[in-house]
């Protein structure tokens, strides 16, 4: 493919989760002719969630993939140009902003909405893939409801892990917090809450070896004090396995131009999707280390599209 002709667009949207698709719906209806590239994981993180019960408007719940397919169809109905492809490089030094797709095609965009999301960190065990959507989750607020009166384990030792454990403790019968180190990294107040919760048991110096179960997760293989003379293998019966070892924002290709926090989340003007670059907006999990919900992502996608529309009308027709 020749690089001589760059495609020029008014609005480019990167990412196809609730934020990207919602931005595309609003932008299409405002006649901005948005072009959206779906990225590495078309449909975003929700495509790995089997049942979504907390998205307003679906009283009986809906599967993650179905919800994303609905949002995609809605965007296409209003004329959004949705394409397969991955943004591999950017030049945001001056408008129009240049984004390279699949290392070959360059798009010049008057405005850009970054909705590339974040990727949950996993331990890297084959069993995490094997039991995906069958007892393994990286989001307690998404999936905790399915474990009422059941036994679950949370992996991690930071504030997020403690928050997830406390949230699950309100639903589950028993929560195990699996911590590699002999201490928690979480803030003192979070630690105290965990230790005070009657149905949370903290398992210090435990590493996860794998999961077991015939029809989904039925238990976890652990090793206690790994690599010491008194190393001990422990099997624990659980119904759900929650990862809370953090998320990695998919912001690498934007970092030379954008202000990010120490983890890599894009910084926005509080209460808006505006970034440090005029005409470049960030929506969804890429700019949200706190909530990471489909509904908040969709809301920020709407806001980003409205901001892009205002920016375009102020700068030229």
Catalytic positions, please?
Answer: 139, 142-143
Q: Spell out the residues 6+ positions from residue 299 whose beta carbon is closer than 8 angstroms to its own.
A: 22
Distances (CA, A) of 27 to 12, 267, 275: 10, 22, 18
CB 308 within 8 A of CB 26: no
User: Of 44, 43, 62, whose CA–CA distance to 52 is shortest?
Assistant: 62
Residue 134 to residue 214: CA distance in whole angstroms = 10
Helices then strands, each counted (H, E), the chain: 7, 19
Give 27-52 as a DSSP string.
HHHTT---EEE--SSTTGGGGG-SEE
In 3-state terms, what secondary structure has residue 196? helix
For residue 236, what are its two tokens? 């624990």
In 3-state terms, what secondary structure has residue 184? coil
């Amino acid at each position: 493919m020749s690089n001589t002709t760059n495609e020029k667009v008014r609005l480019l949207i990167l990412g196809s989760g609730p934020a990207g698709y919602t931005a595309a719906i609003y932008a299409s209806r405002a006649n901005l002719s948005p072009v959206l590239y779906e990225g590495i994981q078309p449909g975003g993180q929700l495509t790995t969630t089997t049942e979504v019960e907390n998205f307003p408007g679906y009283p009986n719940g809906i599967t993650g993939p179905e919800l994303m397919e609905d949002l995609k169809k809605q965007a296409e109905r209003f004329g959004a140009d949705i394409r397969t492809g991955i943004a591999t490089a950017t030049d945001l030094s001056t408008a129009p902003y240049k984004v390279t797709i699949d290392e070959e095609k360059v798009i010049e965009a008057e405005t850009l909405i970054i909705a590339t999301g974040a990727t949950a960190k996993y331990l890297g065990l084959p069993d995490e893939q094997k039991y995906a959507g069958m007892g393994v989750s990286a989001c307690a607020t998404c999936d905790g409801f399915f474990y009422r009166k059941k036994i679950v384990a949370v992996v991690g030792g930071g504030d997020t892990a403690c928050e997830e454990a406390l949230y699950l403790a309100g639903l589950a019968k028993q929560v195990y917090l699996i911590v590699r180190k002999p201490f928690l990294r979480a803030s003192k107040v979070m630690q105290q809450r965990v230790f005070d919760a009657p149905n949370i048991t903290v398992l210090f110096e435990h590493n996860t070896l794998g999961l077991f179960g015939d029809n989904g997760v039925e238990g976890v293989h652990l090793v206690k004090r790994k690599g010491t003379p008194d190393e001990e293998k422990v099997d624990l019966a659980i119904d759900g396995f929650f990862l809370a070892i953090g998320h990695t924002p998919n912001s690498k290709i934007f970092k030379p131009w954008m202000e990010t926090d120490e983890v890599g989340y894009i910084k926005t003007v509080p209460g808006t999707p505006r970034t440090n670059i005029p005409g470049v907006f960030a929506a969804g999990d890429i700019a949200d280390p706190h909530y990471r919900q489909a509904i908040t992502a969709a809301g920020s996608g709407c806001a980003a599209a409205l901001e892009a529309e205002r920016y375009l009308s102020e700068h030229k027709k």
